[in-house]
Amino acid sequence: MAEECRYTNEEAASEAKASLPDWRVEEGMLTRSVKTGNFAESLLAANAIGYLAEKADHHPDLTVKWGSLDIALRSHDVDALTDRDFQLAKQIETVL
């Protein structure tokens, strides 16, 4: 199995996220805040993301709020951003 790419600095990670313009690299995490209309919409988006995350066996940190949802990705098992984070972010974009 090929070794996955780890992004050890924000500059390298920023290049990798070029196809994800709404995402940011902050404090070693790939993050995005999504505006929603209300709490129910935030919860629905979180559930859709949860479904994708379970399928990928890769789990983001989600903060559900009234009117917004915060998403943070990091490969906790290797304590770094990896290709898995960017792949899941691309899948998440399909449900937002």
pTM assigned to the model? 0.90
pLDDT of 2 > 60? The answer is no
- Asked if residue 54 belongs to a domain, the reply is yes
pLDDT tier for residue 35 given thresholds of 50, 70 and 90:
very high
> Residues 37-65: pLDDT tens digits?
999 999 999 999 999 999 999 999 999 99
Looking at residue 13, its pLDDT comes to 79
Range of the structural domain that residue 81 is part of: 6-93
Number of domains in the chain: 1
Helices and strands per DSSP (H, E), number in the chain = 3, 6
Per-residue b or e along 53-90, where b marks 16 or more CB atoms closer than 10 Å to that residue's CB: beeeebebebeeeeeebbbbbbbeeeebbbebbbebbe
% of the chain at pLDDT higher than 70: 97
The Cα 79–Cα 81 span in angstroms is: 7
- Asked if residue 29 belongs to a domain, the reply is yes
- Asked if residue 1 belongs to a domain, the reply is no
β-pairing, 29-35 vs 81-82, is: unpaired
- Here the CATH number for the domain that contains residue 12 is 3.30.1360.20
Q: Is the dihedral of CA 19, 21, 25, 29 positive or negative?
A: negative
